[in-house]
Amino acid sequence: MPIKTVDLDSEITHLSILDEKGRVDEELEPDIPEEDLLDLFKTMLLVREFDERKEKLQRQGRIGTFAPVRGQEAAQLGSIYALRKTDWFVPSFRETAATIWRGMRLEDDLVYTAGYEEGIRFTKESRDLPIAVPVASQIPHGVGIAWGIQLKGADDVVLTFFGDGATSEGDFHEALNFAQVFRLPVVFLCQNNRWAISVPLHKQTHSKTLAQKGIAYGMRSLQVDGNDILAVYVATREAIERARKGKGPTFIEALTYRLSFHTTADDPTKYRPADEVKEWEKRDPLPRFQEYLIKRGHLDRDMVKNWTTAAVIEVDHAVERFERRLDGMGRDPDAIFEHAYAKNPPYVERQRREVEDWVRARREEGGGE
């Protein structure tokens, strides 16, 4: 039998619009209303301040561990901005910027980080899923929602986030394969921050890009500068438009970097070179976006100063509301059964009754709660 070469369409496009100095490629620059640009910038400032305050609260023992977002704000805000309110948002565990843009209150985030599931309780009308800590576990959930959308004949789209480490998990591959086979309306947004906790990218995959993993399933895939909010928005907007028109899923690899620790239980100085961190600090998405807005005449230094002060005050007030809420938390054990199912299955109801019996017995014995 003759040996033949299989012709594969495997070209990877890399998109960048805004460089590290805030200079923009005007041919690729998206038309975003000035009001929205400023709202995105103010959200970046707020998220950065919130991240720093959460670290202090955690070190003081007032909340538990969390995953900071510093350095990845553009990848999250540029993509989430492209969604409609009726579209679905499926996060992993580091999407603080995206959750805040979608309306999550800061005090709710703190309540959850303090160990209370009530902090991520959503209304029935919400199109946002809660935080998913197990790596890649949320990706099949997003695909399942997209399948439901398709079966209903709706035109909504799912945007699901994950990191580079998730692309080494089976859930990732099963989800992408299923999504492409059924041409589901889902966008896969990978924040490639180079490190899966302490494991560098080259030790978890030998793929030259992560985007090519989408191509393996016949999926439209591209790479984007994840610290360039404009490029992330353009890539995600186009992917969402394709999905809404029934053209199937897209895989976007957003090249970014976490400038802080993986979580507060982690010490990145033990495994990351200091020079590497310094190089990526030069690519910080916040000053890059700031310089762009100043050059466009949308922003000035006094506005930045005033909005930074406003962000500090907003976080202060959120912490106060959070601490007032803590006074009433944890007193009703029944609450732990309230937020997982629309209708509890029999085994959960059985567990609920067991807890109620235990609490009742404690009270009768005079043991309190």
Active site residue 258: yes
Active site residue 141: no
Catalytic residue among 237, 262, 272, 283: 262
Binning the chain into helix, strand and coil, the percentages to the nearest 5 are 50, 10, 40
Q: How many CA atoms lie within 13 A of 364 on its CB side?
A: 6
Beta strands at 199-200 and 195-196: parallel, antiparallel or unpaired: antiparallel
Active site residue 272: no
Max CA-CA distance within the chain?
85
Q: Is 277 left (phi over 0), alpha (psi -120 to 50) or beta?
A: alpha
Nearest to 71 by CA among 210, 260, 228: 260
Q: What is the C-alpha separation between 345 and 322, in angstroms, rounded?
A: 32
Q: How many CA atoms lie within 13 A of 33 on its CB side?
A: 5
Non-local (6+) Cβ contacts of 323 within 8 A are 62
Amino acid at site 59: R
Catalytic residue among 14, 23, 59, 271: 271
Catalytic residue among 70, 220, 237, 258: 258
DSSP string, 124-183: TT--BPPP--STTTHHHHHHHHHHHHHHHT----EEEEEEGGGGGSHHHHHHHHHHHHTT
Torsion angle of alpha carbons 274, 275, 281, 283, nearest 10°? -150
Non-local (6+) Cβ contacts of 69 within 8 A are 47, 51, 76, 94, 95, 96, 97, 258
Q: What is the C-alpha separation between 245 and 264, in angstroms, rounded?
A: 42
Residues labelled catalytic: 258, 262, 271
